[in-house]
Amino acid sequence: MTAEAIKLVRQHLDQVHPAEVLDDATRADYRARIKALLVSRDAVLVAHYYTDPEIQSLAEETGGCVSDSLEMARFGKEHPAKLLIVAGVRFMGETSKILSPEKRVFMPTLEATCSLDIGCPPEEFSDFCDQHPDRTVVVYANTSAAVKARADWVVTSSIAVELIDHLDQRGEKILWAPDQHLGAYVQKQTGADVLCWDGACIVHEEFKARGVLELKKLHPDAAVLVHPESPASVVDVADVVGSTSQLIKAAAELPHQTLIVATDRGIFYKMQQLAPGKTLLEAPTAGSGATCQSCAHCPWMAMNGLENLLAVLEDENGCGQEIQVDESVRVAAMQPLNRMLEFSRSLKG
């Protein structure tokens, strides 16, 4: 996406969903009501690291989960609650529904999507696959259920290198979608034959290597942590490249006291918890003359707030924010998703 297109997306989303500002009393009241409703509705809150700290802390305090997209999928599937409240973006809610069809899945808002999902329409993607029948189709979790249904494998960034390496060793050629930067990164790490779709994340694509290096000059002892959805030039200046959970682990384990972080700043909540006392700096996204130094926040993740979370819990049918997936699509998408979960279990084993 061009810088102009990104600006327009942000402006539109800011108008439609202005940031939630609540006074202390309202905030405390909402939190108490959400906690009570989670119990009375036999529900559990599953939140991504990029959501507002308000949401992440609620998930922690109520026995829910705060994690990366892979763990969110696993947690929702294994948890006994009848109702999953997924705070994140739409593909995360869909993944939960695909893996747990017997559960109802609500999201604070179904409008929370992802530029990678938007940039990979199922029909065009299916045509692309048809043009390359000799390739194993691997899609990133950040895709619609219909795109997953067309894939041989689903993968998240936490196991992408390992999976592509595994397929390469079996002699398979890969068709990768939708994130071109993550695709280029796994290709470089594994040497596999990877043909990439040309999608991108509007948040990570904005990080600038030059800005990171300038910040590093001011903090020469800092380590640079980068999510692989960032452009190759930014990945090249990283000390650690990894998924959200891998970056959090690195923040806690590295000896460095200062960390420059190139991913959504929502992750600072968990990093600060696990690496107390360390200084966390947002990697710059802005070129010279820009009005913000770093716009490293996913506008769709930011749509998850206390107000809409409370509203979906109060309404029997989740204010219409319930995830529905067509049954034939669900069954087809479940296979590559289960392969991913099985592969990740084998890595742990």
Q: Smaller CB distance to ligand 13P: residue 31 or 119?
A: 119
Q: Map the footprint of ligand 13P across residues 132-151, applying CB under 6 A.
A: 142
Q: Are the CB atoms for 344 and 160 separated by under 8 Å? A: no
Q: Smaller CB distance to ligand SF4: residue 89 or 234?
A: 89
Give the residues lining the site for ligand SF4 (CB under 6 A).
Answer: 89, 114-116, 142, 201-203, 229, 264, 298, 300-301
Q: Smaller CB distance to ligand SF4: residue 30 or 300?
A: 300
Provide the CB-side half-sphere exposure for 113 (13 A, CA). 13
CB of 328 to ligand SF4, least distance (A): 26
Stretch that binds ligand 13P, among 6-14, 128-136, 152-160, 283-291 (CB under 6 A): 152-160
CB of 277 to ligand SF4, least distance (A): 27
SS3 316: coil
CB of 289 to ligand 13P, least distance (A): 27
DSSP of 71-118, one letter per residue? HHHHHHHH---SEEEEES-HHHHHHHHHH-TTSEEE-S-TT---HHHH
The residue sitting closest to ligand 13P, measured at its beta carbon, is 68
Q: Smaller CB distance to ligand SF4: residue 89 or 107?
A: 89
List the x/- string, 46-65, binding to ligand 13P by CB under 6 A: --------------------
Alpha carbon distance 261, 212 (integer Å): 9
From the list ligand SF4, ligand 13P, none, which binds 115 (C-beta under 5 to 8 Å, kind-based)? ligand SF4
Nearest 5°: the CA angle 122, 124, 128 is 110
SS3 171: coil
Helix ranges (H only) for the chain are 3-16, 24-40, 53-61, 69-78, 90-99, 115-118, 122-130, 145-149, 160-169, 180-190, 209-218, 232-235, 244-253, 268-274, 306-314, 327-348
CB of 204 to ligand SF4, least distance (A): 6
Q: Smaller CB distance to ligand 13P: residue 201 or 329?
A: 201
From the list ligand 13P, ligand SF4, none, which binds 321 (C-beta under 5 to 8 Å, kind-based)? none
From the list ligand 13P, ligand SF4, none, which binds 308 (C-beta under 5 to 8 Å, kind-based)? none
Cis status, amide bond into 178, omega within 30 of 0: yes
Told to check if 244 binds ligand 13P by CB under 6 A, we report yes
Tokens of 204: 């990570």
| Binding residue (CB under 6 A) for ligand 13P from 100, 115, 157, 230 | 157
CB of 72 to ligand 13P, least distance (A): 8
Told to check if 69 binds ligand 13P by CB under 6 A, we report yes
Q: Smaller CB distance to ligand 13P: residue 156 or 308?
A: 156
Q: Output the CA–CA distances (angstroms, integers) from residue 268 to 207, 284, 301, in the order listed.
A: 17, 15, 14
Q: Map the footprint of ligand 13P across residues 222-241, applying CB under 6 A.
A: 229
Q: Which residues lie below 8 Å from residue 221, measured CB to CB, with a gap of 6+?
A: 256, 257, 258
Alpha carbon distance 33, 337 (integer Å): 34
Stretch that binds ligand 13P, among 154-162, 274-282, 317-325, 334-342 (CB under 6 A): 154-162
Q: Which residues lie below 8 Å from residue 44, measured CB to CB, with a gap of 6+?
A: 38, 62, 63, 64, 65, 76, 79, 81, 83, 84, 85
Q: Smaller CB distance to ligand SF4: residue 228 or 336?
A: 228
Q: Bridge-partner residues for 179, per DSSP?
A: 199
Q: Smaller CB distance to ligand 13P: residue 34 or 262?
A: 262
Residue numbers of the site for ligand 13P (CB under 6 A)? 68-69, 142, 156-158, 201, 229, 243-244
